Structure 1
Amino acid sequence: MLKKSLILCRKIDCNILRSVSTSNIPPKWDLFGAVCLERKPIIIPELTNIEKTFQEYLSKVEFEKSMKSLHEIRHEQDIITAEALKKGELSDLDIDATTKQTAQDFEDACNEELLKFKFASTITEDDKKNNTKSLDRKLSKHLVLVTEHVIGNKKYFLLPQSLRHDGETLRQTAERILKQTCGDNIKAQIFGNAPVGFYKFYYPKGSNNESKGAKVFIYFARHLSGQITEKSVNYQWLDRKELETILPNDYNKSVQKFLIDES
């Protein structure tokens, strides 16, 4: 009878220990890797008024402190030669030299050719169509790649991200994401082995996830060349202002912390 009582007590103690130990285990978080893939501006943005004024000032200072160019020296020599020709002080050999193109003639010809030159428009056809899948738009802006993700029963445009696989480092997860999202045609460089940004979110209530939420570690990558060839991915290339309108508010704040402010 005593033996049965001891066995029963031990079972009760074990059940109590199990309940205590499981209640102390913190909720699980899923670890995600993400990539902020950015295309640098292809052309410089238009200068502001203060930048134009400063540029003109620097050009003026540079001109005042610079030595005479070969063209200016030649132009001065042409003036001296012309005065000597009027006074009849030139030999036959010098007179033959004056029949050649002068520095002023060369300058006039260059200015005439310059008037015919027209700069290409910085507004592309993809700008006019607002084709957000194209890299040939917003040429003076940084563009960031976002892709469509389903969280709960809603769709969001976020940075390319994926759940970390067992045995992967977060850097390896980021490399895998780039290949899965962009295909083999895109060439990009991920900077560093440590993430530049972090964001966490809770899964919606009623979702089938065993974890309470996800912790997202963001790596920064620079687009080098190529276009996205993966047709199954819904994506967009967006500038800073467009990101603010499409990314969730808190998520956007985390992303903007490591992006260059263009304003």
Structure 2
Amino acid sequence: MNLAQRSIRLCLYSTSAQVSRTKWDLMSAVCLERKPVLSGELNEIERKFSRMLADIELENSHKSDHEVRYETETLQAELLKSKSLDLDIEQTLQQTAQDFEDAAVDEYNKFVFESRITEADKANDLQNLERKLDRHLLLLVQQKQWDQKIWALPQGLQKDGETMLQTAERVLREKCGDDLTVQFYGNAPCGVYKYKYPKMFVSREEEGPVGAKVFFFKAQYIAGYVDHNKLKLQEFKWLGREELMSSLSQEYYRNISQFLIDEE
């Protein structure tokens, strides 16, 4: 090995050693989702397929008690017309299957289906969970980062002795209060996002962290609400997939979109 090769290897070794000693802040972020409450509206192909399955099920199904009763009473009515059958007066006064069917059809025609568009949809209330009931909603909170406010998932620094999951659970309580009931999906993070701090905020004299590594944990909303009045949280909103890009940075959105289920 000549002198030039030794110099290059020494340079590479010193560079890798310097990188390995670089400090990073460790953070946990919670990707809290509210699952759809309603099934999505069917498109034309899905409606045709649904009708086909219903027709197949009808053809292969056995007769219900109502259908058997209807056929029996129809036969009895024909026999009565031909005076081939005698019935008691009490039997003739009972509600027939046809009467029951007519009453059921009349009640169905009076029934009005509830609209999929809620009052929260009409008001575009981004803090209300009653909006977009057929879509996934993701919780974003407004947080201060250096000298500006940004929208991001609830996130915070890891404390000594905490696992990353414990940090995520604590951060969610601190940011959103104790009234939220959620379920975390396992102990392992579902993604990671790394970024460096601006040079103006990094101390040159101290060997402090040069950036942060954010570990994402997925959780499902069960019940409760975000208590932003009692805590220091200034703003929050529940957004659908198509609304995230307008609030998040491109790089941040690209990282979290990798573990979000595509709704289309």
What is the TM-score of this pair, normalised by structure 1?
A: 0.87
In structure 2, what is the equivalent of residue 14 of structure 1?
none
For structure 1, the 5+ residue unaligned runs are 1-19
Give the Cα–Cα distance (whole angstroms) in 1 for the partners of residues 153 and 87 of structure 2: 78
- Cα deviation for residue 58 of structure 1 reads 0.6
Counterpart mapping for 1:219-238 below 5 A: 219-231=217-229, 232-233=232-233, 234-238=235-239
Unaligned runs of 5+ in 2: 1-13
Shift of 1:121: 1.5
2:80–2:86: 8 Å Cα contact kept in structure 1?
A: no
Out of 75, 82, 91, which is 1:80 matched to? 75
Cα shift at 1:26: 3.3
Within the candidate set 86, 100, 110, 1:106 is matched to 100
When structure 1 is superposed on structure 2, of 230-239 and 161-170 the one drifting more is 230-239
Partner of 1:196: 190
Match of 2:36 among 27, 41, 45: 41
User: How much identity, in percent, do the aligned residues show?
Assistant: 45
CA distance in 2, matches of 1:257, 1:198: 10
Instruction: Show the counterpart of 1:215.
Output: 213
> What's the CA shift string for 1:19-38, capped at 9, x where partnerless?
x89x8363211111110011
Question: Which of 50, 57, 66 matches 2:52?
Answer: 57
Deviating above 3 A after TM superposition, structure 1's stretches of 4 or more consecutive aligned residues are 23-26
Deviation at 1:40, TM superposition (A): 0.7
Partner in structure 2 of residue 5 of structure 1: none
Q: Partner residue of 1:259?
A: 260
Pairs within 5 Å for 1:1-263: 24=18, 26-93=21-88, 96-208=90-202, 210-231=208-229, 232-233=232-233, 234-263=235-264
Counterpart in 1 of 2:10?
none
Asked whether the 8 Å contact 1:152–1:203 carries over to 2, the reply is: no
Cα deviation for residue 92 of structure 1 reads 4.2
TM-aligned CA deviation for residue 131 of structure 1: 0.9
CA distance in 1, matches of 2:32, 2:175: 11
Q: Which amino acid in structure 1 is aligned with residue 243 of structure 2? A: E
Shift, 1:246, TM fit = 1.2
1:81/1:98 contact within 8 Å kept? no
SS in 2 for 1:188: strand
Partners of 1:55 and 1:62 in 2: CA distance: 11
What's the offset of the Cα at 1:83? Answer: 0.6
Find the aligned partners of 2:52 and 2:84 in 1 and give their Cα distance: 43
Return closer, same or farther for 1:143/1:92 CA change in 2, 3 Å cut-off. closer
TM-score (normalizing by structure 2): 0.87
